[in-house]
Amino acid sequence: MDDVETYSSRSKKRRSRFLKFGLAAVIFVVILAIILGVVLSTTARNPSGEKLKSTVITRCEKFVESTNISRDCQKLWNLFEQAYVGRDPCAVPPEAYNPLMAGMHPDPSCNRMLFWSKTKDLVHDFTEKRDCYQTLEDTLLGSVMDGLTWCGKEGTRETFTTDCPGWTDCDNNPVRLFWNRASAGFADAACGDVTAMLNGSIATPFSPASIFASIEVKQFNSTRMNGLNVVLVTNKNDITTCENPSLKVLQKELDPKLKYSCKEVTQSNIQECMLRPDPACGACW
């Protein structure tokens, strides 16, 4: 009888230990499933945010490597993201990017800074082939963010790249504000002789609606700049010249202390010139 009771007691203990172990295993599996479910759900819901982060950091690291500048790319992402996450994509405050600009501001390239309006493709082709000038898009922030779309939404800490407001949908959208703020900073740092490449194939090369007219020119500082050289890019049969009324407006908007010049240069001449080797890094106009 004692043996039977002892065996029964041991069996109960083994069953109890087995049940406890089984219950613990079930709880572990449930918790693991919940965690994986949340992660997979988030990734499936918004893979674009992680892709944007990867793109920004990768571009930043390549820029840092190629230019030998000292910048923390993870810090760049953190400063960038905090400007818009959790905000209404049409109500981002103008000062939201100030920490990013302060922490990642470009080093001025006196006598090499090149501004543009309606000539983006030609300008960037030129600076890529002839490393004589620097546009905003050739700086760290400009090169990293060029061509990207992003926004946040209220009630979430996620980043989105779709269903974001377009450039003209609202003034305070995160992409437009970024480029306005970056353009103002780039123009404010302009020093020495500054160049602007404008489109001579349109009726108003200096358009009031452009970033160059509405933001950059207003930031030019005569204490740092010597003057502005306008390169008016023309094509065959264009009738726009340096005497265009909008360019007269540009000249009047500049500080009188700044020297002003304008030269008409054909697009074909610039394209031919950019392919010629020039150790002295001379201009193509």
User: What does the chain come to in residues?
Assistant: 285
Report the half-sphere exposure of 137 (CA within 13 A, side-chain side): 16
Sequence-ordered list of residues with C-beta below 8 angstroms from that of 211, at least 6 positions apart, any chain: 117, 179, 180, 183
Q: Which two tokens stand for residue 102?
A: 């302060």
**Interacting residues of 171 by C-beta distance below 8 A, sequence separation 6+:** none
As annotated, the active-site residues are 110, 191
Residues of the chain by 3-state class (helix, strand, coil), percent to 5: 50, 10, 40
CA distance 214 to 198: 15
CA dist 43 → 8, 39, 46 (Å): 52, 6, 5
Residues 6 or more apart whose CB falls under 8 angstroms from that of 12 comprise none
8 A C-beta contact, residue 218 and residue 251: no
